[in-house]
Amino acid sequence: MADGATLNNPHPQSEATRGRGTARSGVEGATPDTVLASAPSTTSWSPSPAKGGGGFDVHAARAQFPILSRTVNGKPLVYLDSAASAQKPRAVIDALTAAMEGSYSNVHRGLHTLANETTEAFEQARETVARFLNAESPDQIVWTKGGTEAFNLVAAGLAQSLKPGDEIVTTQMEHHANIVPWSMLRDRLGIVLKWAPVLDDGSLDMAGLAALIGPRTKLVAVTHMSNVLGTVNDVRAVADLAHAAGALVLVDGCQGAVHCSPDVQALDCDFYVFTGHKLYGPTGIGGMYGKRAALEALPPYQGGGEMIATVTEDAVTYAGIPHRFEAGTPPILEAIGLGAALEWFMAFDRQAVAAHERALYDHVVARLSGLNWLRIIGEAPGKGAILTFTVEGAHAHDVAQILDRYGVAVRAGLHCAEPLSKRFGITSSARASFALYNTVEDADAFVDALIKAREFFV
């Protein structure tokens, strides 16, 4: 879709696809705004993300999350596990309820009113994601059921052209979702998987990364923000290195999309993967931005309805992007919920939100400084508000369970990043991750509970 184009036909029909039925906003009686009842409606495409107003009121934001008013073990809930999955604001809850109660049908396949309304809301959510990431066009956003499926989509597509000895470069700080698909290609195809090292402070060794990229490199897969270290990588610098060698760049934005205000055009990445449940949206929805040329070069990931142009007994032709990658009935309600989450999120000044989260992290670190029984994993400059740590003489699972007695929810284990744990010589760690709804009171409750927890292991 060209910049500035209206959404009168967000899913245009060709002669080949007309039989599936495609909704249009001009159809009489279609009211997608009733489906996205709690989210602002967008009627035209804008290539730039919405800019929030100045300042950030954490208490006003927090009040929009019903779950945060509950207690756990008789204590006020202190939720510090948002890097695993964020809580949901009322806007998302209401949007999902409205979609189920007021206007629901399958998308792209009917000409009746409910099908038109639901398709419009579904495609409007795609447009919202495109604005959020500053994509050139909404049709460069592919829906998947989460970040993991997006990685596998790219892996399946690349597998059609990779040859033994071709190389994929990744890093020691990656989530398993950005490791296992490439490892599977190594086992199946005989490609070479190379690992860029992580420095002692949790920074990516850029010189080490550059040394690994060569003429056989086909893809560089790197996280925007580490889910364990909080390290924010210079993705544009990585992209420049990779593109100079003729390689593609895939960015894991599952954390970065929440905390780094990504602009995919400025980052110059070929693929940017995101997931909904960390972005204050539902589970079961995520997706990927791709440059048009990169997406068009990928063969379809799965076969079935929706992803086709024609099917005969002798041949099948495929739909264009993004629908060629979206076989079957998509996660309709989940996409609508994610659209509502992003409209809600983009109303905030995101720089102010990031500053708030970082202030909470700094406050906690200041209070914990000088404790010789605590080890912080990852202290790279400019890192995000993720505190991963170990307690001397205690297993991380025990630490997390004791903190839960005080109503404090943290993560414990390997955090789906086993190579990184090995790099730092640990078998498990605990992780407190801060989100826009956390307060100084949350931060202090966490520190107080952690100091009390230590007493169990002395």
Q: What is the domain-level CATH number for residue 409?
A: 3.90.1150.10
Kindly state whether residues 340 and 355 are assigned to the same domain.
Answer: no
Residue 224 lies in a domain: yes
Please report, for residues 17, 308, 316, the alpha-carbon distance to residue 302 in angstroms, rounded to integers and kept in the order given. 18, 11, 13
Residues 328 and 372 placed together within one structural domain of the fold: no
280 and 369 co-located in one domain: no
pLDDT category of residue 42 using cuts at 50, 70 and 90? very low
**Coil, strand or helix: which one is 451?**
helix
- Is residue 405 over pLDDT 90? yes
Residue 107: half-sphere exposure toward Cβ, Cα within 13 Å: 28
Query: Can you give the pLDDT at residue 21?
Result: 34
Work out the angle at residue 297's Cα, subtended by the Cα atoms of residues 295 and 300, and round it to the nearest 5 degrees: 75
Q: Judge if 146 and 286 occupy the same domain.
A: yes
User: For 374-401, how does the pLDDT look when each residue is reduced to its tens digit (9 = 90+)?
Assistant: 999 999 999 999 999 999 999 999 999 9
Cis amide linkage into residue 322, ω under 30° from 0? yes
Instruction: Kindly state whether residues 251 and 332 are assigned to the same domain.
Output: yes
**Same domain flag for 141 and 275:** yes
Q: Which of 327, 346, 365 is the last residue of a domain?
A: 346
Give the Å distances, CA to CA, from 445 to 224, 371, 393, 450: 30, 17, 22, 8
Please indicate, yes or no, if residue 48 is contained in any of the structural domains.
Answer: no
> Is 170 in the same domain as 277?
yes
Q: Do the beta carbons of residue 44 and residue 50 sit within 8 Å?
A: no
User: Cβ–Cβ contacts within 10 Å for residue 312, how many?
Assistant: 7
Q: Domain boundary residue among 311, 346, 381?
A: 346
Q: How far is CA 271 from CA 114, 174, 289, 324, 374, in A?
A: 33, 16, 5, 16, 38
pLDDT at 86 over 70: yes
Specify if 405 maps to a domain: yes
Label residues 277-295 b or e (16+ Cβ within 10 Å = b).
bbbbbbbbbbbbbbbeebb
In a domain, 244, yes or no: yes
Let me know if residue 266 belongs to a domain: yes
End-of-domain residue from the set 294, 321, 346:
346
Q: Are residues 235 and 369 in the same domain?
A: no
pTM of the full predicted structure? 0.89
For 315-369, where are the alpha helices, taking DSSP H only?
A: 332-346, 350-368
Least confident span in 9-13, 305-309, 425-429, 437-441: 9-13
Amino acid at 10: P
Q: Any idea of the CA torsion for 366, 367, 371, 375, to the nearest 10 degrees?
A: -60
Q: Would residue 416 show up in a list of annotated catalytic residues for this protein?
A: yes
Range of the domain at 413: 350-457
pLDDT tier, 54 (very low <50, low <70, confident <90, very high otherwise) = low
Q: For residue 342, tell me if it sits in a domain.
A: yes
- State the pLDDT confidence band at 55, using cuts at 50, 70 and 90: confident
Answer yes or no: do 308 and 402 share one domain. no
8-state DSSP, 146: S
Same domain assignment for residues 337 and 356: no
Q: What is the CATH number of the domain that holds 287?
A: 3.40.640.10
User: Are 244 and 366 members of one domain?
Assistant: no
* Calpha distance 361→259 (Å, rounded): 13
Q: Is residue 98 part of a domain?
A: no
Beta bridge partners of 391: 374
- 9 has pLDDT over 70: no
Whether the CA torsion 90, 96, 102, 103 is positive or negative: it is positive
What total number of domains does the chain contain? 2
- DSSP bridge pairs for 432: 387
Nearest alpha-carbon partner for 274 in 291, 294, 257: 257
**Residue 178, in any domain of the structure:** yes
Asked if residue 174 and residue 310 are part of one domain, the reply reads yes
Summarised one tens digit per residue, pLDDT across range 150-196 is 999 999 999 999 999 999 999 999 999 999 999 999 999 999 999 99
